[in-house]
Amino acid sequence: MASEVKDWPRAIAHLDMDAFYASVELRRRPELRGKPVIVCGSGPRAVVTTASYEARKLAGIHSAMPAATARRRLPDAVYLTPDFPAYREASEEVMEVLRSNVETVEVVGLDEAYLDLTGLFSPKATMRRIAAEIREVTGGLTCSVGISESRLLAKITSELGKPAGLVVLSREDGLARFAEGSPGLVPGIGPKTVRRLEEMGATTLTQLRERWSREELEARFGPRSGAWLYHRARLEDNTPVTTSREIKSQSAETTFDHDVADLGQLERQLGELAEELCRRLRKRDLRGRSIGIKVRLDDWTNVSRSHSVAEATNDPEVVRPVALDLLRAYDPPRPVRLLGVRVASFEHDAGAEGRTGADGPDADDAEGEGEGEPQLRLSLPS
Burial class (CB in 10 A: 0-12, 13-18, 19+), 8: buried
pLDDT at 24 over 70: yes
Instruction: Give the pairing type, strands 288-297 and 302-313.
Output: antiparallel
Fold annotation for 249-353:
Dna Ligase; domain 1 (3.30.1490)
Mean pLDDT of 37-59: 93
Whether residue 378 is predicted with pLDDT greater than 80 in this model: the reply is: no
Pairing of strands 78-80, 37-40: parallel
Provide the residue ranges of all domains of the chain, joining segments of one domain with +: 178-233, 249-353
Q: Is the pLDDT of residue 2 over 60?
A: no
More confident site: 364 or 66: 66
pLDDT score of 7: 83
> pLDDT confidence of 362, banded at 50, 70, 90?
low
Local confidence band at 308 (pLDDT 50, 70, 90 cut-offs) = very high
Whether 380 has a pLDDT exceeding 50, the answer reads no
How far is it, in rounded angstroms, from Cα 345 to Cα 246?
A: 11
Catalytic residue among 112, 253, 369, 371: 112
Mean pLDDT of the chain: 89
Q: What average pLDDT score do residues 282-307 get?
A: 93
Yes or no: say if 327 and 293 are a contact pair by the CB < 8 Å rule: yes
Q: Residue 32's closest CA among 16, 2, 56, 55?
A: 55
Per-residue pLDDT at 13 exceeds 90: yes
Least confident of 12-16, 44-48, 364-368: 364-368
Query: Given a cut of 50, is residue 366 above it in pLDDT?
Result: no
Query: Residue 376: pLDDT above 50?
Result: no
What pLDDT does residue 65 have?
94
In terms of pLDDT, which residue wins out, 41 or 93? 93
pLDDT at 290 over 60: yes
pLDDT of 201 over the 80 cut: yes
Q: Which CATH superfamily is domain 178-233 in?
A: 5' to 3' exonuclease, C-terminal subdomain (1.10.150.20)
246 pLDDT band, cuts 50/70/90, is: low
User: What's the whole-number mean pLDDT along residues 210-219?
Assistant: 96
Asked if the domains at 178-233 and 249-353 fall in one CATH topology, the answer is no
pLDDT higher for 358 or 333? 333
State yes or no: is 371 an active-site residue. no
Nearest-angstrom CA–CA distance, 156 and 177: 11
Q: pTM of the entire structure?
A: 0.75
Q: What is the mean pLDDT of residues 172-184?
A: 96
The percentage of the chain sitting over the pLDDT mark of 70, rounded to a whole number, equals 89
**What confidence tier does 333 reach under pLDDT thresholds 50, 70, 90?**
very high
Among residues 240, 190, 249, which one has the least CA distance to residue 371?
Answer: 249
Categorize the per-residue pLDDT at 359 as very low, low, confident or very high, splitting at 50, 70 and 90. low
In this predicted structure, which of 81-90, 247-256, 306-315 has the lowest mean pLDDT?
247-256
